[in-house]
Amino acid sequence: MLERKLVNVGFDRVVLRDRRPFGLATLARYPIFAPEFLDFVERVVPPDRHDALVYAVDVTATAAT
Amino acid sequence: MPYFTDADARSIVRTTYEAAAPVGIDVAHVLYGPDELAGVPEDALRWAFGVGNPVRHAGPGPGEVVLDVGCGAGIDAFIAARRVVPDGRVIGIDMTPAMLDRARHHAAAMKIVNVEWREAFMEALPLPDGSVDVVVCNGVLNLSTRKSRALAEMRRVLRPGGRLALADLVLTESLPEEIRRDATALAA
* Domain membership of residue A39 as a residue range: 2-63
The total number of structural domains in chain A stands at 1
CB atoms B52 and A58 under 8 Å = yes
Task: Report the pLDDT value the prediction gives residue B23, as an integer from 0 to 100.
Answer: 62
Q: For residue B83, which phi and psi values (nearest 5 degrees)? A: -85, -20
Look at residues B117, B179, B169 and name the one whose alpha carbon lies nearest to residue B143: B169
Q: Is B48 in contact with B28 (CB distance < 8 Å)?
A: yes
Interface of A with B in 6-65 (CB under 8 A): 6, 8-11, 17-18, 22, 27, 29-34, 37, 40-41, 44-45, 52-65
Contact criterion met (CB < 8 Å) for B182 and A40: yes
pLDDT one-digit tens code per residue, B122-171: 999 999 999 999 999 999 998 898 999 999 999 999 999 999 999 999 98
Question: B185 falls in which pLDDT band (50, 70, 90)?
Answer: low
Whether residue B132 contacts residue B91, with contact meaning beta carbons closer than 8 Å, is answered with yes
Distance, in angstroms, between B141 CA and closest chain A CA? 10
A11 three-class SS: strand
Is 80 exceeded by the pLDDT of residue B9?
A: no
pLDDT at position B1: 52
Q: How far apart are CA B49 and CA B133, in angstroms?
A: 24
**Of the partner residues B20, B175, B176, the one whose CB lies closest to the CB of residue A31:** B20
Could you say which of B52, B168, B176 has the minimum Cβ distance to residue A44? Answer: B176
Nearest one of B156, B60, B157, B154 to B114, comparing CA atoms: B60
pLDDT of B187 reads 59
Chain A's closest residue to B150, CA to CA, is A9
**pLDDT score at B180:** 66
Q: Do B165 and A60 touch (CB under 8 A)?
A: yes
Residues lower than pLDDT 70 in chain A: none
Over residues B55-107, the pLDDT tens digits come to 999 999 999 999 999 999 999 999 999 999 999 999 999 999 999 999 999 99
DSSP-H helix ranges across chain B:
6-19, 26-31, 34-37, 42-45, 54-58, 75-83, 97-110, 147-157, 177-180, 183-186
